[in-house]
Amino acid sequence: MRVLMFGWEFPPHITGGLGTACYGITKGLVKQGTEVIFVVPKAYGDEDTKAAQIKSASEVPFDLKDEEYKEYWSKIKYLEVGSNIIPYVSPEEFSRNMEKNVKTGVEFKSNVFSKYYKFSGKYTSNLMEEVARYALIASALSLKEDYDVIHAHDWLTYPAGIAAKQSSGKKLVVHMHATEFDRTGGNVNQQVYEIERQGMEVADSVITVSDLTRNLVIEKYGIDPAKVITIHNAVDQNYRKKAQHIKKNYDEKLVTFLGRITFQKGPEYFIEAANKVLKKDPKVRFAMAGSGDMLVKMIKHVARLKIADKFHFTGFLEGNDVDHIFAMSDVFVMPSVSEPFGIVPLEAMRSNVPVIISKQSGVAEILHHALKIDFWDIDAMADSIYGLCHYEGLSKMFRKYGKQEVENLKWEDAAKKIINVYQNLLIR
């Protein structure tokens, strides 16, 4: 079986869990004998081609005058006008970016229909233009590649999946890794919501990463429950074990937050819990690893609480640096306000780090050896951190059984379930 797969990012060039999940899924599919043609907006040349055949949309020309595209043009003309949105920044930061561009004379003129187009492959202010161009490329590739089914990851690639389906007539699977409700905390961008809704409506099958997300897409988007299936994520078992030998040069316990510093991830609750722990025991350190629109606000918040001497902001980490911080960590906390799944706790547990996760996360559905708290309950969060830092028997139990638990969460098993979705569609 061959799959034409659309994704916005692929390791090592990622911004979060989406790229990690895409990589795990493709590797799992390949191990099961499925070939994957993975299309990204921009390829850098250092992607793992053993996991998938990587195609860069930047290198695919598209000429509307070409006769073979003409009959499909009317089906994708709704993509003609790209708008300027940045999905993972606050409205205030977006306004600042737009004001800066206006002052410097920058205009966002659509180059969607030019023969050649260079994608940034990032989450820039002309993101919707790139999404539109990506869909045009998808319609072109869908006519040239040999494959059995189409698979599109997250809303950025749903228009591409729709265009490919309409051009080729092949079955479409869309993968919902996070909804607009998760990313924005309810302050929904209507345009993104409509893209998500349309993608799921047109799809022949919808995969969600948790039952939490499945219920949301059924209730908030009106998607037919019969075509929505939950397949939980997993974790890469082939991590760099050498990082485990790294030693801290201080005696204090280290408690780590790792993720985008945005409202969705609950960084403010982590800081409030840290403040409570430090009032009881000042010999604990806290690290916030990541970047995002709330970073400056969180730095100021730590300064106001006068705990900056015990708090470290590392910036965005990837690869070896993630393994290093886990090797030094004694506790990992994921206080997400709304987390469709959450792969990072699995990576922490794989590294022998006990974890505290919010009950408002999809990963809470499958983990047994993790402390679970409501994201807003900073007292419970602080008590959990204190307990794991001070009671060795408790920490040892969660380290031991947590590691055993995640060793059974393999991408190959998730891939088998995805292949089953493909096969069910192909026999209809």
Residue 321: pLDDT above 70?
yes
The per-residue pLDDT for 91 is 41
CA distance 42 to 292: 22
> Who has greater pLDDT, 183 or 84?
183
Residues with Cβ within 8 Å of 353's Cβ and at least 6 positions away in sequence, in order, are 256, 326, 329, 330, 331, 332, 399
What confidence score (pLDDT) does residue 348 get?
95
Looking at the structure, do residues 147 and 186 belong to the same domain, yes or no? yes
Query: Is the per-residue pLDDT at 243 higher than 70?
Result: no
Assess whether 198 and 248 both reside in one domain: no
6 vs 26: CA distance, rounded Å: 11
Whether residue 140 has pLDDT greater than 90: no
pLDDT average, residue stretch 205-228: 97
Distance, in Å, from the CA atom of 367 to the CA atom of 133, rounded to the nearest integer, reads 40
Tens-place pLDDT, residues 326-361:
999 999 999 999 999 999 999 999 999 999 999 999
% pLDDT > 70, the chain: 85
pLDDT tens for each residue of 115-135: 777 887 777 667 777 888 888
- pLDDT for res 68: 59
Cα-based angle 317, 244, 325 (whole degrees, multiple of 5): 25
What is the predicted pLDDT for the residue at 71? Answer: 56
pLDDT surpasses 60 at 153 = yes
Which residue has 């479409």 as its token pair? 172
Residues 400 and 415 in one domain: no
117 against 283, higher pLDDT = 283
| Residue 239 pLDDT class (50, 70, 90 cuts) | low
Q: Which amino acid is at 116?
A: Y
- pLDDT band at residue 55 using 50, 70 and 90 as cut-offs: confident
The predicted structure's pLDDT at residue 104 = 40
Contact 381, 324 (CB under 8 A): no
Computed over every residue of the chain, the mean pLDDT equals 86
pLDDT of residue 69: 58
Q: Which residue has the higher pLDDT, 142 or 270?
A: 270
Mean pLDDT of 5-15: 86
Let me know whether 273 and 167 are in one domain: no
Q: Is the pLDDT reported for residue 74 higher than 60?
A: no
pLDDT of residue 109: 44
At residue 253, does pLDDT exceed 90?
Answer: yes
pLDDT of 90 over the 50 cut: no
* pLDDT at residue 150 tops 90: yes
Residues 208 and 101 in one domain: yes
Residue 95 in this model has a pLDDT that exceeds 70: no
Determine the average pLDDT of the residues in 158-181. Answer: 93
Report, as an integer, the average pLDDT of 161-167.
91
Does 207 share its domain with 248?
A: no
pLDDT value of position 413: 95
Q: How confident is the model at residue 80 (pLDDT cuts 50, 70, 90)?
A: very low
pLDDT at 244: 57
pLDDT band at residue 428 under the 50/70/90 scheme: confident
Do 217 and 272 reside in the same domain of the chain? Answer: no
* Residue-number span of the structural domain to which 87 is assigned: 2-234+411-426
**In this structure, are 31 and 142 located in the same domain?**
yes
For position 357, which CATH number holds?
3.40.50.2000
- Check whether residue 246 and residue 108 sit in a common domain: no
Contact between residue 91 and residue 263 where contact means Cβ atoms under 8 Å apart: no
Question: In this structure, are 138 and 269 located in the same domain?
Answer: no
Q: Residues 298, 127, 17, 334: what is their CA dihedral angle, to the nearest 10 degrees?
A: 20
Higher-confidence residue of 289 and 72: namely 289
Question: How many domains does the structure of the chain reveal?
Answer: 2
pLDDT at 379 over 50: yes
Q: Domain check: are 310 and 395 in the same one?
A: yes
Q: Are residues 113 and 255 in the same domain?
A: no
